[in-house]
Amino acid sequence: MNAMGLEGGQSRVGRSGLWPDWLPVGVAIMAGLAAVSSALVAARPAQASAEKVMWTFARPHFLMYEPRIKEWNASGRTRFELRLLSLPAIERRMMASFLGDVPSADVIETERRPASRAFGGPVEAVGFVDLTDRLKKDGLLEAINTPSFSPWTSRGHVFGLPHDVHPVMLGYRADIVEAAGIDVSKIETWDDFARVMRPLMVDADHDGQPDRFLLNMWETNQDHLELLLLQAGGGFFDEHDRPILDNPTNAHVLATVTTWVAGPARIAADAPNFSAVGNKLKADGYVLSSFFPDWMGDIWKHEIPSLSGKMKLMPLPAWEKGGRRTSVWGGTMLGIPKAAARTPEEFEKLWGFCKELYISDTFTRDLYRVGGIVTPVKKYWNDPIFDEPNTYFSAQPAGRLYIQLAPQVPLRNSTPYNTFAMYRTVDALVRLAEEARATNRYDMPTLTKRAAELLKDAQRQVEAQMSRNVFLTGGAS
């Protein structure tokens, strides 16, 4: 799950966690050590009140896990105490423990971006237990959807048990679209989307501006941009964690998105996610479609209940005919710190708990009922729960629609430089859109050429930043 929007910030210059992405590793280590005293204070009471401790960052997860952990404790097995911390607090305490060898939780549930902080040094120094061999032994590498491992895999080693898949679909205002006689089954590509849906962009009040826009997208939204780049086959790093910001696919996506947000062919507007203002704009139909990972439906159900029965889901339009019809947004893992598993016996206790929590049919159903999230464990994909009609999405079987797309979810990387690279790419898009508005040039050849130039500069910045880390290969080349 995305922690209800913790990965959805709109600012292109924001930072998360203990230190900013541009901070050199040596300074980061000093900052981590400086947090030791606060980590000790936080960790000791937890260890005193239960034999083992688990941290989670999402309140819906906490509420879902709490009764199951009570059952676990009542069974006479090793007792666990569940604690809810903010994501920044988990990141600070996790890294203070990894860098300073001070106590933390015995099991940590964390999200993609904080987890990547652990992968910045030599692979043998990663603070989580390497689960690769155990996953193979237990048959879980084959049992779990392969793309779900990628954010927790560094240099061929898997350090986390996946919580989710998070395929992305397009959620659209079916009441408005269908009333206009538009058949979304005729939409295969993003070009089709703009052409088929454009009649909905009417100017009923004659103020010279459309009353509605087709897509919730803006040049500063890094989450939306990343999922589009991944869908297209671009992104920030290759399978060896080498930066690839300046590849032609990225340039094409940036040029296309610029035509979406600016100029005479504009189809998109900003209705910020996870905000009252954005919710009002969506409820009013200012934007007719938004990006929907599986967890997003639960958020809209609670924050925009007025749209229940008015929304439907469809696969993302592809970048080219026959292309990928989904992407990915967000992700969570369960990891075991090395300090908590100093003996094989201790590891077995913790590993058994992790599997009970994540790899069970009860968890699968709870995960979907509570958050709308589909499991990465493939043997449960035939569960009838995923075929149940979803009232928010006009009785569509939302779970089944997401599961059909799960194997197509793009792979991601685990490098701690992903956020830095994302900001640099967003900077390139912002500048491209600003220049297009200033020059009134929106033809694709001009935009693509300029996007390539801006991405080359972004590539150089990322390479320079990575070159400072002597532990990682594949930086500047």
- 263 and 217 inside one domain: yes
- 362 and 452 inside one domain: no
96 within some domain: yes
395 within some domain: no
> CA-to-CA distance for 1 and 60, rounded, in angstroms?
9
> CA-to-CA distance for 332 and 469, rounded, in angstroms?
26
> CA-to-CA distance for 419 and 427, rounded, in angstroms?
12
State which residues form the domain around 303. Answer: 169-328+412-467
- 304 and 440 inside one domain: yes
- 350 and 320 inside one domain: no
431-451 pLDDT, tens digit each: 999 999 999 999 999 999 999
Q: Report pLDDT for 469.
A: 82
Nearest to residue 148, comparing CAs of 116, 102, 200, 112? 112
- 186 and 287 inside one domain: yes
**Cα torsion through 141, 8, 56, 341, rounded to 10:** 50
Domain boundary among 356, 380, 404: 380
121-139 pLDDT, tens digit each: 899 999 999 999 999 999 9
Question: Which CATH number goes with the domain that contains 265?
Answer: 3.40.190.10
Q: Report pLDDT for 382.
A: 97
- 324 and 334 inside one domain: no
Q: Report pLDDT for 243.
A: 96
397 within some domain: no
- Reduced 3-state DSSP string for 97-133: HHHHCCCCCCEEEEEHHHHHHHHCCCHHHCCECCCHH
Residue found by looking up tokens 């992305």 in the block: 168
Q: Report pLDDT for 50.
A: 56
Residue found by looking up tokens 């925009």 in the block: 304
- 239 and 307 inside one domain: yes
Domains: count for the chain: 2
Give the chain's end-to-end CA distance (angstroms, integer): 35
278 within some domain: yes
Low pLDDT (below 50) residues in the chain: 1-49, 473-477
143 C-beta neighbours (distance < 10 Å), count:
14
Could you give the C-alpha distances from 211 to 40, 177, 261, 272, 377, in angstroms and in order? 55, 14, 15, 17, 43
pTM over 0.85: yes
- 463 and 340 inside one domain: no
**Which tokens go with 118?**
């652990």
- 302 and 346 inside one domain: no
- 191 and 302 inside one domain: yes
399 within some domain: no
> CA-to-CA distance for 283 and 300, rounded, in angstroms?
10
- 181 and 247 inside one domain: yes
- 360 and 420 inside one domain: no
Q: Report pLDDT for 456.
A: 98
Q: Report pLDDT for 453.
A: 98
121 within some domain: yes
144 within some domain: yes
403 within some domain: no
* C-alpha Rg value of the chain to the nearest Å: 23
Nearest to residue 459, comparing CAs of 309, 244, 288, 285? 244
Nearest to residue 419, comparing CAs of 208, 156, 112? 112
Q: Report pLDDT for 472.
A: 61
Q: Report pLDDT for 101.
A: 74
**For residues 282 and 290, is the Cβ–Cβ distance under 8 A?**
yes
